[in-house]
Structure 1
Amino acid sequence: MRDGDFHGYAERSDNDLVLSFLRVRRAIGLLGYFLPTVLVLWSVIFGQGLRPSISAYYYSPMREVLVGTLCAIAVFLWSYEGYRPRPGEWLSDLMAGRAASLGALAVALIPTAPAEPVACTLSQCVIGFSLAGTLHWLGAGAFFGALALFCLVLFVRGDHPDAEKTASNRIYRACGWIIVAALALIGLILLSPDPVKTQLLPLRPVFWLETIATFAFATSWMVKGDAMRPMVRAVAAADAR
């Protein structure tokens, strides 16, 4: 192989690797937008009303959509290697992606506690409804927590950022703090006294907070996948004023 051919092959390989990263990031982002949107549309079109949480759709005809989408997100996150950590960096894309993947699988395969008596799933039969519900929420926390780390730590890494990178970092951090705030509010709701929960239930606050957090992580991955250039440029232009 001639020297020029080797460099051309190496350049094409690098380009293919970059495109692969971008496709995975966009796929994760698109799935994040898809899930809450299709659940809301189904609830409205079929007059079923919103469920208390995204997870509660497991006990509805949308079960396959919920579980399938979460499993697809888990596969993409597990396969995402990202960048290797530099010396002194303890957190890597691979580590966070695997944690988020396992959290998504836990949410998909260990259902939340049902609102009324139902036949148990495999996980519920083995470990019981109470422990399954606890593991479900721990999985959700790991999933969103790892995605917040992507936004607040991993996506903003890089030396000497240009205007667009600086704008992207602003978006990542905003998405990360939105996820953190949504998780904190969900925690407060779950820990609130029963009379407070009863009053809030018709508003479906957990569902909407989960949707906001999901849209936030989806936006960050779409930006990282270079699919939201107009938004990034608009933020960069606003910063330059």
Structure 2
Amino acid sequence: MADDHGIGQKSRNDLVLSFLAVRRAIGALGFFLPVALLAYGLAVGELLPSISSAYYSPMREVFVGSLIAQAVFLWSYEGFRPDAGDLITDRGTARVAAVAIALVALSPTCKDGCVLPDNATCTLLQCLLRPPLASLVHLGAAAVFFGALAVYCLVLFTKGTVDGPEKDASNRIYRLCGWTIVASIGSIGVLFATGLDDRLIWWRPVFWLETIATFAFATSWMVKGDALRPLVRGVAAMR
């Protein structure tokens, strides 16, 4: 009987470690792509206009590979078992985010009247939908992806009883990350709607706002994966 209890405890510990590993992987990938594109921009002396424009640069494989890896980890994420009557669940939100980020990678955006750059071949979705519609799918999927991650920060990660200063600190970090995502993506929408993204292109506002939003979601997942405990303790000590 004692052996069975030990085996059961080991299985539960392994499951917890698996959850933590997936969360850390999702967070690490969120940090990786913007950092890689920043390094590329510094190397060539010019930042890309947006993260999505990496598709038409030498960083294409890094861009697509990172997003597809993100989709795989999100699709495999089970999260906590939902309570009876829950409409928003860990698994469902992760699946929505996974499909959305896969569409971002497989249906790249376009520019200059949606004419593909020289020597660029269309992806399967671009060929089927044609570049203008594929670009709308890309933008819509990106909005859904970040929206799902904001839901994680503001709704799912903050669930549960606040049983100590570290949980309270974690919740404050999640909410800060969530509202940062909402504000950043909302600002990009304003830039697109007003045409300011083109007028301010020299400053690369879309790239920086996307990077801020991505860092925010990556931070929240790393905190949830227990990889940023010193940050949580530091926030807890500020009260």
Q: TM-score range by the shorter chain?
A: over 0.9
Structure 2: gaps spanning 5 or more residues: none
Amino acid at match of 2:12: D
Amino acid at match of 1:84: R
Which residue of 2 is the match for residue 82 of structure 1?
A: 79
Which residue of 2 is the match for residue 231 of structure 1?
A: 231
Equivalent in 44, 47, 56 of residue 46 of structure 1: 44
Amino acid at match of 1:207: F
Residues 1:114 and 1:198: Cα distance change in structure 2 (over 3 Å): closer
Which residue of 2 is the match for residue 117 of structure 1?
A: 116
Measured in 2, the distance between the counterparts of 1:161 and 1:89 equals: 22
Equivalent in 102, 106, 116 of residue 105 of structure 1: 102
Question: Does the 8 A contact of 1:30 with 1:218 survive in 2?
Answer: yes
Q: Calculate percent identity across the aligned residue pairs.
A: 56
Equivalent in 141, 144, 150 of residue 143 of structure 2: 141
Measured in 1, the distance between the counterparts of 2:71 and 2:80 equals: 19
Tell me how many residue pairs correspond in the alignment.
Answer: 234
Cα deviation for residue 87 of structure 1 reads: 1.9
Structure 1: gaps spanning 5 or more residues: none
> Quick check: 1:211 aligned with 2:208?
no
Measured in 2, the distance between the counterparts of 1:75 and 1:231 equals: 28
Amino acid at match of 1:98: R
Q: How does 1:51-62 map to 2 (within 5 A)?
A: 51-62=48-59
Measured in 1, the distance between the counterparts of 2:210 and 2:102 equals: 17
> What's the TM-score, normalizing by structure 2?
0.95
Which whole-Å deviations, capped at 9, do the CAs of 1:108-146 have from their partners, x for residues lacking one? 000001445333222111111110000000110111000
Over aligned residue pairs, what C-alpha RMSD do you find? Answer: 1.1
Which residue of 2 is the match for residue 169 of structure 1?
A: 171
Cα deviation for residue 185 of structure 1 reads: 0.2
Measured in 2, the distance between the counterparts of 1:198 and 1:73 equals: 29
Alignment partner of 1:112: what SS?
coil
Equivalent in 34, 37, 43 of residue 35 of structure 2: 37
Which residue of 2 is the match for residue 73 of structure 1?
A: 70
Question: Does the 8 A contact of 1:59 with 1:114 survive in 2?
Answer: no
Measured in 2, the distance between the counterparts of 1:32 and 1:188 equals: 24
Measured in 1, the distance between the counterparts of 2:2 and 2:123 equals: 59
Which whole-Å deviations, capped at 9, do the CAs of 1:177-205 have from their partners, x for residues lacking one? 00000011000001004xx3332111111
Question: Does the 8 A contact of 2:162 with 2:168 survive in 1?
Answer: no
Question: Does the 8 A contact of 2:197 with 2:205 survive in 1?
Answer: no
Amino acid at match of 2:209: L
Which range moved further: 89-98 or 153-162? 153-162
Measured in 2, the distance between the counterparts of 1:117 and 1:167 equals: 47
Measured in 1, the distance between the counterparts of 2:190 and 2:181 equals: 14
